[in-house]
Amino acid sequence: MKLFEPATLGPCRLKNRLIRSATFEGMADHQGYPLPEYRLLYKTLASGGVGGIITGFAYISSEGKAMQPGQVRIDRQEMVQYFLPVTNEVHKYDCKIFMQLAHTGRQTRKKETGQDVWGVSNKKSLYFRGSPRELATEQVYALVKRFAEAAGYAKAAGFDGVQVHAAHGYLIHQFLLPSINCRTDEFGIDAKSRIGTEFLGLVIQEIRKTCGYDFALLVKVSGDDDYFTKFTSEQFGNLIRFLDTQKVDGLEISYGTMDHALNIFRGEIPSKVLLRHNPVFKTNHGIRKILHNSLIFCLMRVKLKPFSPTYNLEYAKIAKALTTIPILSVGGFRKGVEMRECLENGFADFISLCRPFICEPNLAEKLKQDLNYSAQCINCNVCAIMCDSDQPTRCYQKYSNS
């Protein structure tokens, strides 16, 4: 029953090794203030028996807001009062909660943010398309401070820690990747490790200065990407070695970037829902729509990786061999037996799940009662595509044609 044994992430002792991985909520108003549904969501998850919760990503600076409506903000002191009721509610159930901090970098659109799009370089995103402006060196240092300030607000709001989002092609990940980072200042690619860790390192150090070591600091990374200039296993290993020197409190191992978002979560492509709700793909022009979408879907399918159980576990194993930092493995866990075997074999220290908790918020209690239980999520991915709509995130299994 190792899955339900207590374990620690830095200063935090969790009652079990099940983590609700960061999942976009879509439960904020247009100014980024959490709605009552946000508090209810986390109360429901905590009451369902999970050991720890990582929130959906919150933006630390307004130009780094996601294009999806309903994202929460954590970029100012006044947000503390809005999140305190959430953390108080979660803690009633002996559950820990960590806020995920993010800046989208080039992975957003001016149409939605109302501001210029900024990135590590001026290289375009395949998916978001618009040309970003390259951050000046002084702007990068300013963003280091913004991450630390956001972490300070999260601590004041009662969160047990933060997770720095350094995966999925967002800003910190952009600094890490040679395929995107062509800078010539101190934030460029290191010739020896062939990754760009200076920005991430400063963010970690500044958060420690602001919040101390009694506040958990987790980092989320991608094991690989889908760009032509491949992020190699050697580069991934160098990233883990770097984070080991930083002595963070937990590493969550994910995959990919938003340029090929379906490879982050895998499964079905609900094309009708995608064309109806996705702001990048939907268009009212008949012939243009047909040609455009035919090309896009052909490219998507060429790059598409099929769903398979525990599909990121190989990267978790690599990380586990290179550091003593607790490893959270996310991606493709559906059966209790898979989770048990992963932990008992020492492949990871925690199991992270996203979509299964959308489908079954009380999944932890079901697994506790029957460790052979299988989650009911069928990987239809309608919930993921609907993050682009103005609807709060929920399971659509019963409404797959919506």
Whole-number Å distance between alpha carbons of 348 and 341: 10
Residue 219 is classified by DSSP as E
**Cα-only R_g, the chain:** 20
DSSP state of 191: T
The answer to whether the beta carbons of residues 152 and 203 sit under 8 Å apart is: no
Torsion angle of C-alpha atoms 63, 64, 70, 76, degrees rounded to 10:
-80
Q: What are the C-alpha distances in Å from 356 to residues 23, 27, 81?
A: 11, 19, 30
At residue 118, the 3 state secondary structure works out as strand
Contact 352, 240 (CB under 8 A): no
CA-CA-CA-CA torsion sign (9, 15, 17, 23): negative
170 labelled catalytic: yes
Residue with tokens 């009694």: 214
- d(Cα 68, Cα 24) in Å, to the nearest integer? 9
CA angle (146 as vertex; 145, 152 as ends), nearest 5: 90
Q: Name 265's Cβ contacts closer than 8 Å, sequence gap at least 6.
A: 331, 354, 355, 379, 381, 384
Quick one: CA dihedral 235, 239, 240, 242, positive or negative? positive
Q: Which of 38, 170, 255, 315 is catalytic?
A: 170
Kindly give, in sequence order, each residue whose CB lies less than 8 Å from that of residue 341, ignoring residues fewer than 6 positions away: none
Catalytic residue IDs: 170
